[in-house]
Amino acid sequence: MQREEKQQDSALEAIIMRVNDLKNAISAMIFKVEHEYETLNWPNFLDNFALISGHLTSLSKVLGHDKALNLRGLTVLPLRLSPEKDEELLRLTENRIPTFAHDLVPDYLRTKLEPQAEQKMMQLEAKAANVNIDTSHDYNKQLAQYTKVISHVWDIANKAREDWEGEVSTRATQAQTSSAADTHALLAAVGMGKGLKSDSIQMVQSGVNPVANSMMVGRPGNQQQTTGQGPLGNPPMGQMNKAPSAIKTNIKAASQIHPYR
């Protein structure tokens, strides 16, 4: 009997330690949610949740061990009920249970759900059992249709993204057809004469068009200007002969062809 009592005590101590760890993790998580909700982010929340899950796993291993205490075969009975305040009970329960009276014992030593919660669970189970098979098939059919639509939209979005990425890569690999340096040099030459030769500048200042001069130099028979010609090799206005016109014109007065007279 003493050996069994020692085993029970050690098993209870291990269970109480795991339960306390779980309780502290839940309390810390509740404190963060209530007081640090402005700075609390999702990764920290998941870390706290993983910590609680780890404590639950440890408690399950302790309860499921071969040498663990079989709590199902034990019964908890109150030895003394009193409506007066119990300091020792208050210390053991961390100031949560001040008295161990007749009206509190059924709630604290309950091994089943509360009557209201149990009734609600029975109603939900009955509702789930009475679901029509055709209705469930309709739900599955609608779910399949929604899944198909979502998959189609997802494919369209992926195709658009691939096309956009292809256009971006094509633009990046296209050969450059312009030169910024040449453009700036051309603008500087046209606007400020930068980079032009000195003889071209002198010809422009003296009134000779260098473009026309180069055109005349390139033509055979225009090596020298004939006397009486202008700067561009054209005869003066007074020496220009009119070519005879072969078209006869008949000009009438405007008063003769007026339609309203």
Per-residue model confidence as pLDDT tens for the chain (261 residues) = 677 788 888 888 888 899 999 999 999 999 988 888 888 888 888 898 999 999 999 988 888 877 777 777 777 888 888 888 888 888 888 888 888 888 888 888 887 888 888 899 999 888 878 766 666 667 778 888 899 999 999 999 999 988 888 887 777 676 667 788 888 888 888 888 887 765 545 545 555 554 445 444 444 444 444 444 444 445 444 444 554 555 555 555 445 555 565
Q: Tell me how far apart the alpha carbons of residues 217 and 18 are, in angstroms, rounded to a whole number.
A: 107
The three-point CA angle 92-94-96 to 5° equals 105
Q: Kindly report the pTM of this predicted structure.
A: 0.41
List pLDDT tens digits, range 168-178.
777 767 666 77
**Residue 82 DSSP one-character state:** B
Mean pLDDT (the chain) is 75
Task: Write the Ramachandran bin of 94: left for phi over 0, alpha for psi from -120 to 50, otherwise beta.
Answer: left
pLDDT at 231: 46
Q: Which domains does the chain have, with CATH numbers?
A: 1-74 (1.20.58)
* Residues in CB range of 71: below 8 A, 6 or more apart: 63
Residues forming beta bridges with residue 100, ordered by sequence position: 82
Count CA atoms within 13 Å of residue 256 on its CB side: 4
Q: Tell me how far apart the alpha carbons of residues 80 and 168 are, in angstroms, rounded to a whole number.
A: 82
- Fill in the amino acid letter for 34: E
